[in-house]
Structure 1
Amino acid sequence: MSTQQAAIDPVGAADVAPDSWVRIGDEVRSKAQMHLAARRAARGFRELGVGRGDVVAVYMRNSFGFMEATVGAGLVGAHVTPVNWHNTPEEARYVLQDSGAKVLVIHADLYRAVRDVIPAGVHVLVAETPENLRAPYRVSAEAAAIPAGAADWDAWQANHAPLEEPFETAPGSMIYTSGTTGNPKGVRRNPPTPEQMESSLEMLRLVGGLTHWDRPLHEATLLIPGPAYHSSPNGWMFIFFNIGANLVVEPRFDPERMLALIERHRISHVLAVPTMFVRMLALPEDVRNRYDLSSVVHVMHVGAPCPPHVKRAMLDWWGPVISEHYGSTEVGAVTYCTGQEWLDHPGTVGRAVPGTTVVIMDENGNLLPQGESGEVVCLRPTYPDFTYHGDDAKRRKADRGGLVATGDVGYFDADGFLHLSGRASDMIIFGGTNIYPAEIEAELMRTPGVADCAVFGIPDAEYGEQVCAFIQPKPGADLDADAVRADLGQRLASYKIPRHIEFADTLPREDTGKIFKRKLREPFWSGVGRNI
């Protein structure tokens, strides 16, 4: 390990303060150490011919290497494409080729799985898979080691002198959006202007829970328990890093460990998704009450609709510190609500943040009045504009008179709070009637004995599609399809009740705990001749 990468524990270390720090697993590095490593990487990237507008792909789990490669690429003006390491080799090949990546930085065990499909001409730098990632992901010592003949990422960094200022303006990460209706596309954003950076700051402080933070920023600590290949963890990780706050980044989400980390490191800010709430609430009561969570002043949750009874249970447990914001990779955060505002407007994802336009349109682009459901369309002018890498036509398709369609369906209540009905692409068309899975999933989560669920449409010869539900029962629960339907029948119209129900001890998941719905849906649509 090189000198600038030596682990430093900031607790009680006066020589580290006020410099901020990052903890991943049980290792800690100061921001100064990480920035020095990133500047070494930047020099190396530049010598490889990487510059403004180019792409560096980072195919790594949450780690110091992920962060240092991302920051280093930004210093030379390059976009960073974080690759979802759950991808199949073919999916990985597509992203690497479509992005036009000049350099790939990858963990050793992941490299072994995809090295045969890496496009020609990509310069590959392989990092040893860190110790703290081996056991959680069942990586052997042999698989974690750098294969013979591969370029060693750490040694490569150490062999370069740090890049000196002036640095380029970082354009940020080029996240590849979900490919549920075909191959994903990278959201390629213009570098922000100084004016855009300044005008965005107040919004970030509001949504990030820093507006009322009256202590030095190096005393704020954000917990990131989700994978950084997702846009929200990726964005907030680097926002807090760049403003001088501290980070606790988890290699993998674990519900009790998350509570323990909050107590141990006096976490002030947390980023979470609803599935994490579900899994923490499933812990035995004595475990939930074991940990002191009083240091938390702000929880951001994003990523999916939260079932109202889950949100209410979390607010009862953690208090009104839980906020919510809504947006997308394309437009950033566009709505926000506090815990109290949610209690006053159950189910909302908030009101438009200052300076942002959010409207509801019908299929012809006409504005819809309050209470009517339609396409959510928005724009935050202070957020740099984007296109889809290599697919300007897709960007034009998302345009609604200068605004951007998010792909979600929703409506505004009388007080201007947005409520989501679901994803337009997830919509089930049952005999001409539109059904949104999110509504059914929220009601299923209220059914006794249901731990988690996924609802989607499957082919139906008579009605086109029918509602299908996969249900993961709670341990020891005795569920059957008829009982589930009877329970739902008390709260849902009959056409929304799943005709096809399957039970599974486990459901395929991402690191966040979010269900891989596409993997459940694919077998039903295979050979039907329709993209899913």
Structure 2
Amino acid sequence: MTTAVWARLTPDKVAVVNPDGSSRTFAEVNAVANKLTRLFRQHGLGKGDALAIVCSNRAEFVEVQAATLRSGLRITPVNWHLTADEIAYIVNDCEAKVLVGEARIAVLPEVVAQCPNVVLKLAVGGPIAGFQDYEEAIAPFDGSDIPDPVLGNQMMYTSGTTGRPKGVYRENPPVTPSSMYALRGYDENSIQLCAGPAYHAAPLAFDIRAAMGAGAPLHFLDKWDSELVLRTISEQKITHLHLVPIMFQRLLALPDEVKAKYPVDHVKYIVHGAAPCPPEVKHAMIEWFGPVLSEYYAGSEGGAGFTISSEEWLKKPGSVGKRPALLQVRILDEEGNDCPPGVPGGIYHQLPPGGGFTYFKDAAKTAANRVGDFFTMGDVGYFDEDDYLFLTGRNAETIISGGVNIYPQEIDNELIKHDAVADSSTVGVPHDEWGEQVKAVILLKPGYQPSEALAQEILDFARKALPSFKVPRSLDFVHDLPRSEAGKVQRNKVRAPYWEGRTRQI
């Protein structure tokens, strides 16, 4: 209940600034969190029950997060750009009994029609058919601190390589020690920016939860606008923020005269990860903002604790950090043998004491990415002679485009429904700005001939079933797809020709 602590110490300090400029103080956020907790309890909800939130970057997201942290509920933020069926699947799979949704998300009535186990539906930002108004629902309740808080949990979803998304479940919720905020340079004058989507694991951890824990005002932006981001950083005196490499590239692409208008010498800490950063881009950011960039290497499942400061990185360009002291990391070849320094292999992170995470209700998927007490996120890399880790590739079953994980099997599952498609192997191909771009590689059924018109027809077909960020940006036809002895398409072999001649395969 750090929000309650900050509400007591600095009640009138701004806690959240919405994209439209309206704001909430710590006292106001705290009172709403207490009211929500009492509302949940009135519905018989408490420790272990689940809540899903489908909402853009706005103060209610923080209020609901604060409420789950004191009510014992487990929160699952959902990507609101997904289709109705995809959102409904996550709401049902996480076993949500509470659904908080935003009126701007038009598919929510269609979602709740598929979610019979939701007992409390709250609408923010306007009316939604079948939902209670958020403000009206909490109005009757007392906003004073509840006397018996219960620590809540969260469960993020990571899409499956062969099927539906899976929740990354931890029985014991992780707690960030207050000393961590001091190490990141937070003090009473710190101001946080959240320029990425709140539902994503990294902005949630490094922007929202960090601001809540450190007692820093949090400025939300609703969508990316390079000059608006830079102006906000400069005029609002932002000191801390999380960005991904494509955001770096877009800021750097601003005209020099625009960049010159906005001083940034007050920025203390820019944390980045989620996708590989081209060294020339990171050099340019450090030259502009100073040595304030801190890179991490982790995923929704966690990681062993890789971080690297600007100073270290300048000595080891391209590295994501030195071998951590507390948890072990192994580089394994395809036979499960440890690789020597300089030789790439699969990266395996040691699970923390207590077992770390499991994939929610999927023991088989949990076991599939384990080797003993170690797990992998599908990345390939090597340690150099000084124990610094360098990433060189990734399992072909994951595409990272603009910092967003995309799982090609989900796309193939839709493409093969087209009458002309015999088989599909979607892959990530190189793209200078996005890192990777989604490409569909299609094998046609007999009787169909490759053509631009047919390619466009297949892509239009995909747009009807997939959210826009998953729709392939291009399509190639082939006469054959490489297969294993078991008949499975070998996606890595489909992907390889597009990356030929590149030292990094990510």
The 3 A distance-change label for structure 1 pair 518 and 419 is farther
Task: Show the counterpart of 2:421.
Answer: none
Q: How big is the alpha-carbon RMSD for the aligned residues of Structure 1 and Structure 2?
A: 3.2
Deviation at 1:286, TM superposition (A): 0.7
Task: Show the counterpart of 2:223.
Answer: 252
**Residue 305 of structure 1: which of 276, 289, 309 is its match?**
276
Task: Show the counterpart of 1:223.
Answer: 193
Given that 1:331 and 1:383 are in contact with CA atoms closer than 8 Å, whether structure 2 keeps it comes out as no
Task: Show the counterpart of 2:289.
Answer: 318
**Residue 47 of structure 1: which of 30, 42, 62 is its match?**
42
Query: 1:337-362: per-residue Cα shift (whole Å, max 9, x none)?
Result: 11122221111111234423222112
Task: Show the counterpart of 2:309.
Answer: 338
Are 2:96 and 1:125 equivalent residues in the alignment? no
Number of aligned residue pairs: give it.
425
Alignment of 1:393-472 (within 5 A): 393-426=364-397, 441=430, 445=432, 452=434, 454-455=436-437, 458-459=440-441
Alignment of 1:174-323 (within 5 A): 174-192=155-173, 197=175, 202=179, 204-205=180-181, 210-211=182-183, 213=185, 217-236=187-206, 237-323=208-294
What secondary structure sits across from 2:101 in the alignment? Answer: strand
Given that 2:292 and 2:310 are in contact with CA atoms closer than 8 Å, whether structure 1 keeps it comes out as yes
Output the CA distance in 1 between the equivalents of 2:301 and 2:75: 15
**Residue 99 of structure 2: which of 104, 109, 115 is its match?**
104
**TM-score, length-normalised on structure 2?**
0.76
Deviation at 1:191, TM superposition (A): 2.4
Question: Partner letter of residue 158 of structure 1?
Answer: A
Output the CA distance in 1 between the equivalents of 2:138 and 2:377: 39
Given that 1:106 and 1:124 are in contact with CA atoms closer than 8 Å, whether structure 2 keeps it comes out as no
**TM-score, length-normalised on structure 1?**
0.72
Given that 2:69 and 2:150 are in contact with CA atoms closer than 8 Å, whether structure 1 keeps it comes out as yes
Output the CA distance in 2 between the equivalents of 1:427 and 1:241: 32
**Residue 147 of structure 2: which of 137, 145, 165 is its match?**
165
Task: Show the counterpart of 1:138.
Answer: none
Deviation at 1:33, TM superposition (A): 1.4
Output the CA distance in 2 between the equivalents of 1:376 and 1:61: 34
Task: Show the counterpart of 1:24.
Answer: 18
Deviation at 1:37, TM superposition (A): 0.5
Deviation at 1:455, TM superposition (A): 4.4
Output the CA distance in 1 between the equivalents of 2:263 and 2:353: 38
Output the CA distance in 2 between the equivalents of 1:521 and 1:180: 21
Query: 1:357-382: per-residue Cα shift (whole Å, max 9, x none)?
Result: 22211233322111111111113637
Deviation at 1:456, TM superposition (A): 5.6
What secondary structure sits across from 2:96 in the alignment? Answer: coil
What secondary structure sits across from 1:346 in the alignment? Answer: coil
Given that 2:17 and 2:24 are in contact with CA atoms closer than 8 Å, whether structure 1 keeps it comes out as yes
Where has structure 1 moved over 4 Å in runs of 4 or more?
15-20, 111-114, 455-458, 521-525, 527-532
What secondary structure sits across from 1:251 in the alignment? Answer: coil
Gaps of 5+ in 1: 1-14, 130-144, 429-436, 446-450, 462-499, 501-507, 509-514
